[in-house]
Amino acid sequence: MNNWKDSEAYKTIHLAVPVIIGELAQMSLHLIDTAMVGAISYRHLAAAALVMNAVNIPFVIGMGMTISVSQLVSMANGRQDTEQVSHYLFNGFFLCTLFAIIISLCLVLGRSILFHLGQDPEVAQLAYPFMRLVGFSIIPMLLFMTLKQFTDGLEYTRTAMMLSLGALPVNAFLNWLLIYGNWGFPRLELAGAGWATLITRTLIFIVLGLIILKHGTFRKYMVISHRQWKLNKHTLLKLLHIGVPSSLQLGMEVSAFAVSGIIIGTISALAQAAHQIALSCASFTFMVSMGLSQACSIRVSNAFGRSDWYRIRLIGRSTLITALIYGSICALCFIIFRWQLPELFNKDPEVMHLTAILLLFAAVFQISDSTQAIGAGLLRGIKDVKIPTLLVTIAYWVIGLPVGYVLAFHFGMRAPGIWLGFIAGLTMASFLLVIRFVRMVNRQELSEKQFHTGQK
């Protein structure tokens, strides 16, 4: 038992568990919305899917910017540099706030694009007011994510986890009031889910902000704020140097899925509803991989601050093995429960049948989806973000999306063809990212070995 607790896998999982629970809780907010809206009709479900596909791309770009905070905070924490940690918090929060406002305004002011995507007209009409509310909710959500990245970078991961868990009953209760019009509230249906999301996200951001400002755990970073809370051009550029490629990297993946969802929406509202349910299930399992990715990235970044490449190799190898095991378990679960999972979202027999088929495709890419997330996290930890962004772009946009489109429309496979494209893109991304990490570590260790040999 002691050997297990001393292992790199245990240390990464121990750090990752609160992050994973927090990510699953955030994903559960979306699943709750999907299930409660889907109970009205599959057209409402398709409208929610349309908005989420349109919002996901800019949201993930904003989320990529928040990652830069955890990376720099973790590296400074590895050097035990308290002043730099405080400095990165302030500059990172300023930069992410700016990005959040810009993204939100673009979504709110540009929501008429929903009527020009070739979707079912009734679905687009239902989605329009929902898009406005979700667009505004981007601001508190990205600010919450920024503060969460700060606490995660310091390896205090439980605070954000507890808030994310607490948001679940709040969001479900607000949905119950506003979607269905209970307790005398107006029946707002899809717009009600939008209001519930906006209120819940605002609450958790405010509470986390107050905890960081007032709790003793973070006091040493607050008492020096008068010295360190100043905008610095060099610091902002460092944040952008990590944040922009990270945003593009995440954006390439999510945008490929989002565009695929919009393409499926041109087939039929039924196909889009089935796609949304299957993708929600796959996204839920992916949150665990994301949590592992963030944890290994933080640990690698900490070791990178100390130039400990041996530790970086151990962390990388152990986390990739963990990802392989986890992906295999998820694949098995999707195969076994492919008929039961759709029932949680919609009872339409045609939607359930198509969803069960898509879940089989989701089972196939569970391992590659998990390992590509870990590969990206490991590379971010050693500050290698530009080339991986190019590799991800090739995997999803040169291979995954074109393959899916050709299979869907030229070979008549329709929605399953798009999902075969997912398999191709994720497998290629996993291979390219993991190989690059291994080569980077080997090169650095060889360089250090030659340096020490030369010294002798």
Q: Using a CB cutoff of 8 Å and minimum separation of 24, what contacts does 304-312 make?
A: 304/75, 304/78, 304/381, 304/382, 304/383, 305/74, 305/75, 305/76, 305/77, 305/78, 305/79, 306/78, 306/79, 309/441, 309/444, 309/445, 309/448, 310/445, 311/8, 312/378, 312/381, 312/382, 312/441
Question: How many CA atoms within 13 Å lie on the side-chain side of 125?
Answer: 3
183-201 confidence digits (pLDDT tens): 989 899 888 989 999 999 9
pLDDT of residue 145: 93
Higher pLDDT, 176 or 412: 176
Which residue range(s) make up the domain with 50?
2-455
pTM of the predicted protein model: 0.79
Mean predicted lDDT score pLDDT of the chain: 88
Q: Is the pLDDT of residue 455 over 60?
A: no
Q: Is the pLDDT of residue 346 over 80?
A: no
Say how many domains are in the chain: 1
User: What one-character-per-residue DSSP string does 166-186 give?
Assistant: HHHHHHHHHHHHHTTTGGG--
